[in-house]
Structure 1
């Protein structure tokens, strides 16, 4: 047992070293040879940081290396300023290592919250296995920030309340607005002080954005906030949100009122479901449903935003191995691109292609339906398969 515990950190260090070496090597490969991603989003983060440091407009130009715009709030650009001073290969290596570390950290947090602690070697193994999921490897190859934000939210929400609980959610919302959904969840479950701290932290990020870049901040909060097309074509198959599904179904961008009429009640219902699961004793799956509400409500939820498939899959394992396996298979198969996509070919989809092309969205809705059915069968606290129920029982390792 002691030997097993000692082996965990060793394996974690080996994997981290391999990730660093791979990231450095990848960064030196010409961009045209990158099979997926090519760390284009990380390049945009660096570009935004340099613009913020130089006091230049954030939203009127494109990154010369990728021809992409910086689309996050001004606070995010301020947070990226340190990246602008580092060479690309070093930023890539550090960012990749941090993302993989965040993935492993999320697995550890989930295991602890489920009272099934994850040994270090198993966390390393599960993190490596999670690379098979499309949202995870896309997140890594694009150099996206989603894994880091997911860990921040999990730390804030699944742990017992602390003095600083809520701050990480507020900061995450300052980087990417969508985590504000978790503030609604916190209010619904009665953690109003935590929700208040989250809102204060978010307000502080807005103030910092105005202090660092007053002009761009005004532009962002008054003009560009509700323009879904500013981050890419909303009809693209990779946009696994209600807005994306409606765009593909209607062969054109839907009116905002229609989108709000569909996505608003749906997201609110999923947040309510999250609150019920939370109150019944499962904070991990409750937080996961909150994340699904966030992904459904956002006008653009690219496939790499769905890294929440990992903690949700781990939580499902305690209830139904079949549900966990099916959920994982959806995100490993990448079936949303089995239909023709790109160059507006989504507008020509038939019924089967719409089902495949909205795979993540439909999987989320199916999971919510499963959760409602399970709740209707249990009047008391949620019971997990082979999991400890009373707090006095000792925690058991995950997947023993």
Structure 2
């Protein structure tokens, strides 16, 4: 018996234990870089912001006036509900918080691979735990994902919540949770998941839209009762101050607006061009998400709307592109071995975002004698990469699975996704 066959014959617990070890080994690369060898004054700066918000509530200092320690001096920029959720962090030493938060991000990214790649994973039989680990490893190394680990960011949890809320068949842990609740909670922590409410409205999914909005309103009002001064400070001032997020024209802002702020035009012309591009890209993205929904491909649906959260937002940092994990598995589909073009396309997205091209662009621009247009292209590479990913999503969604007739446009919930019955049958 070959070593591979021996592993397949192991008890399920042993195979899952090996999968955990493989994921942790993969995560050790960004962890060593960003938690062991990274400068102390830049260590886990965003999770420090979250923790300080919890400290502010417990000590009575203003949530939105407090800053992290020098040299970062970063303010809290999220809604008050996020500050409430950060209270438990205040009871844990900051050094421990950074490590625990990183472990949670790795676990959340693994869960995203599990939920986004389920159509592919269920075909691997006894190899499922190992396949999950091997598919998760390159996702952890993606530039946006490793950047989330670098800063101690919240994006992995936002992506996971929205993915679980929209994926069909619905995850078992959510069978008693109405669709829209997790999107509403995500909106209460960070405003950008509101793009999913727009998607609900475009598709006349009134119940999900109402559930998401009511959830967000109830949570926000509850936070207002708990933190009236902080709520007034956020909704009455901090929310309207874009400078609290950092320099919008900086390389890290890879939204369409960030691209235009760097390359022009400036002033009214730039604002008009941005609105036109937002309208064009938004129309394409939401039409693609609608087609995915009607074809029953919930993974492509989430991927397309997630890209809208990046491209259409005024500010979208590189780590906001955690959505690329979902995009990769949407392009791979249920059985990429039947059409290997899917593997090449998913590989192209993965390879593109494994690179740190925006920072390559900065290095290029620091050489005055080198052609500046090449540096500008590299500097804005993730904006172009997001548009490329949107195009590949469109291409993959229009591919006909070999041996099928395609999804029924008039019957949402059927088509590209494998049914839950098929999954259970394959597992047994």
User: Could you say which TM-score interval applies, normalised by the shorter chain?
Assistant: 0.7 to 0.9
Contact 2:169/2:420 (CA < 8 Å) preserved in 1?
A: no
Matched, 1:149 2:158: yes
Query: Residues 376 and 3 of structure 1: is their aligned pair in 2 closer, same or farther, counting only changes over 3 Å?
Result: closer
Contact 1:24/1:89 (CA < 8 Å) preserved in 2?
A: no
Contact 2:106/2:140 (CA < 8 Å) preserved in 1?
A: no
- 1:74 maps to what in 2? 80
Q: Identify which range, 89-98 or 251-260, moves more after superposition.
A: 251-260
Cα distance, 1:247 vs structure 2:
0.2
Distance in structure 1 (CA, Å) of the matches to 2:25 and 2:396 = 42
Distance in structure 2 (CA, Å) of the matches to 1:234 and 1:349 = 24
Distance in structure 2 (CA, Å) of the matches to 1:100 and 1:183 = 27
Distance in structure 2 (CA, Å) of the matches to 1:285 and 1:21 = 30
- 2:291 maps to what in 1? 276
Gaps of 5+ in 2: 1-7, 337-341, 409-415
Distance in structure 2 (CA, Å) of the matches to 1:306 and 1:290 = 12
Q: Deviations over 1:310-340 (max 9, x none)?
A: 1211221236112111111111011111112
Distance in structure 2 (CA, Å) of the matches to 1:236 and 1:123 = 36
User: How many residues end up aligned between the 2 structures?
Assistant: 392
- 2:413 maps to what in 1? none
Query: Residues 389 and 164 of structure 1: is their aligned pair in 2 closer, same or farther, counting only changes over 3 Å?
Result: closer
Contact 1:21/1:93 (CA < 8 Å) preserved in 2?
A: no
Cα distance, 1:252 vs structure 2:
5.3
Matched, 1:355 2:377: yes
Distance in structure 2 (CA, Å) of the matches to 1:377 and 1:369 = 13
Distance in structure 1 (CA, Å) of the matches to 2:116 and 2:123 = 8
Query: Residues 71 and 389 of structure 1: is their aligned pair in 2 closer, same or farther, counting only changes over 3 Å?
Result: closer
TM-score, normalization by structure 1: 0.85
- 2:249 maps to what in 1? 235
Give the superposed CA RMSD: 3.6
| 1:198 alignment partner, one of 204, 208, 212 | 212
Contact 1:113/1:158 (CA < 8 Å) preserved in 2?
A: no
Q: Identify which range, 313-322 or 77-86, moves more after superposition.
A: 313-322
Q: Deviations over 1:143-188 (max 9, x none)?
A: 1011111111111011346442211111111111000101122233
Query: Residues 214 and 188 of structure 1: is their aligned pair in 2 closer, same or farther, counting only changes over 3 Å?
Result: same
Contact 2:19/2:130 (CA < 8 Å) preserved in 1?
A: yes
Distance in structure 2 (CA, Å) of the matches to 1:365 and 1:24 = 29
- 2:133 maps to what in 1? 124
| 1:292 alignment partner, one of 264, 289, 307 | 307
TM-score, normalization by structure 2: 0.80
- 1:83 maps to what in 2? 89
Matched, 1:181 2:195: yes
Distance in structure 1 (CA, Å) of the matches to 2:361 and 2:30 = 31
3-state SS, counterpart of residue 93 of structure 1? helix
Q: Deviations over 1:198-232 (max 9, x none)?
A: 11111122213312322222232232324332211
Contact 2:22/2:134 (CA < 8 Å) preserved in 1?
A: no
